[in-house]
């Protein structure tokens, strides 16, 4: 099998690949290509490349000029960029574990997943100045700038939050307020997911969170709430591990994202 490679210098060259990658389903090409690169000591220059197939020929795209093409190919293959925002102050807490389960499923499906934990970030409150509606940039220079940029590029955004006083966590609400620069912008995300954990054993404990997020989604009307997992009856970090159904539901959401 012949593989055409478009490396950083833009000069295409042909490599010969022993063995077959044929029959590998679309979503798994990238993984198969990475394994092939690794075996052939090509990992460094081609680590972030993407492989595509035209008939019996495989193409690996890496150059900056090919970036746009890579994006089109990603869309054709149904590969998404997914941003997970874990908002609990407890790393390894229940909602954070649901976030990891979602990530595991999404990676298995071939999507690219980036996870951000707000407990690692410095985040200030929105000042309400509305300067961002003209400049599309917040006047506050803190970690939110990077998160909002990542949200803007993502195809799907996942929020994981503990239920605090029958509402979303303050950290999550603070972040949602700070997404105001996206309101007049061309944001990519279309699907939004919500993962919650509550001490209360009733599913209705998360109703306030769902309603709060729906209020935000109503303002970002190109997106929709695509899935919710409510982890209930969990208090100490890790309690959710005893709730197989919640873990499975989060994993399945990621897998089908
Ligand atoms: C400030 C605070 C408020 C809380 N309010 C509620 C509540 O209203 N209803 C509820 O069921 N659990 C409530 N809890 C419990 C958490 O939702 C529960 O422990 C959850 O599993 C924590 O998620 P985490 O492990 O992801 O941080 C509250 C916890 C804290 C710290």
pLDDT in tens, 14-28: 444 434 444 444 445
Question: What 3-state DSSP class applies to 86?
Answer: strand
What mean pLDDT is predicted for residues 42-46? 45
pLDDT at 110: 86
Spatial separation of the C-alpha atoms in residues 77 and 31, rounded to whole Å: 13
Q: How confident is the model at residue 181 (pLDDT cuts 50, 70, 90)?
A: very high
Q: Evaluate if residue 2 carries a pLDDT over 70.
A: no
What mean pLDDT is predicted for residues 116-128? 97
DSSP string, the chain: -EEEEE-TT---EEEE--S--TT--GGGHHHHHHHHHHHTT-HHHHTT-EEEEETTEEEEE-SGGGHHHHHHHHHHHT--EEEEEE--SSTTSHHHHHHHHHHHHHHHTT-EEEEEEGGGS--PPP----THHHHSS-SS-STHHHHHHHHHH-SEEEEEEE-BTTB--HHHHHHHHHTGGGTTS-----EEEEEEE-SSSSGGGGHHHHHHHHHHHHHSTT-EEEEEEEE-S--STTGGGG-HHHHHHHHHHHHT-
pLDDT at 7: 42
pLDDT-wise least confident of 94-98, 105-109, 215-219: 105-109
pLDDT-wise least confident of 107-116, 151-160, 174-183, 203-212: 107-116
What mean pLDDT is predicted for residues 216-245? 97
- Closest ligand 1 atom number to CA of residue 236: 19
Domains of the chain: residue spans and CATH? 2-66 (no CATH), 81-255 (3.40.50.360)
**From the CA of 235, how far away is ligand 1's center (Å)?**
7
Q: How confident is the model at residue 53 (pLDDT cuts 50, 70, 90)?
A: low
pLDDT in tens, 130-145: 999 999 999 999 999 9
What mean pLDDT is predicted for residues 203-232? 97
pLDDT at 58: 57
pLDDT in tens, 161-176: 999 999 999 999 999 9
Spatial separation of the C-alpha atoms in residues 71 and 186, rounded to whole Å: 16
What mean pLDDT is predicted for residues 1-14? 44
What mean pLDDT is predicted for residues 31-44? 57
Measured by CA distance, the residue closest to atom 3 of ligand 1 is: 164
Higher-confidence residue of 10 and 198: namely 198
Q: How confident is the model at residue 63 (pLDDT cuts 50, 70, 90)?
A: very low
What mean pLDDT is predicted for residues 212-220? 97
Do the Cβ atoms of 174 and 185 come closer than 8 Å? no
Quick one: tokens of 251? 């994993």
Bridge-based pairing state of the strands 156-162 and 112-117: unpaired
Measured by CA distance, the residue closest to atom 1 of ligand 1 is: 164
**From the CA of 205, how far away is ligand 1's center (Å)?**
10
**From the CA of 215, how far away is ligand 1's center (Å)?**
21
Higher-confidence residue of 52 and 47: namely 52
**From the CA of 224, how far away is ligand 1's center (Å)?**
26
């Amino acid at each position: 099998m012949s593989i055409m490679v478009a490396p950083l210098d833009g000069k295409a060259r042909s490599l010969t690949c022993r063995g077959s990658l044929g029959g590998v389903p679309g979503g798994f090409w990238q993984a198969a290509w990475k394994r092939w690169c690794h075996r052939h000591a090509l990992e460094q220059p081609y680590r972030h490349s993407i492989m595509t197939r035209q008939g019996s020929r495989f193409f690996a795209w890496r150059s900056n000029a090919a970036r746009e093409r890579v994006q089109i190919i990603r869309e054709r293959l149904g590969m998404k960029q997914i941003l997970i925002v874990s908002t609990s102050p407890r790393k390894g807490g229940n909602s954070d574990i649901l976030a990891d389960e979602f990530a595991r499923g999404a990676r298995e499906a071939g999507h690219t997943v980036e996870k951000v934990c707000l407990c690692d970030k410095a985040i200030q409150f929105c000042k309400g100045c509305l300067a961002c509606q003209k400049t599309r940039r917040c006047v506050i220079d803190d970690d939110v700038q990077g998160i909002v940029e990542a949200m803007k590029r993502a195809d799907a955004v996942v929020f994981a939050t503990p239920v605090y006083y029958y509402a979303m966590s303050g950290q999550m609400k603070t972040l949602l307020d700070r997404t105001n620069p996206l309101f007049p912008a061309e944001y990519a995300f279309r699907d939004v997911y919500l993962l919650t954990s509550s001490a209360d054993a009733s599913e209705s404990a998360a109703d306030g969170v769902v309603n709060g997020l729906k209020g935000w989604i109503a303002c970002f009307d190109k997106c929709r709430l695509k899935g919710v997992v409510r982890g209930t009856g969990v208090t100490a970090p890790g309690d959710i591990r005893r709730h197989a159904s919640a873990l499975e539901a989060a994993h399945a959401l990621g897998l089908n994202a």
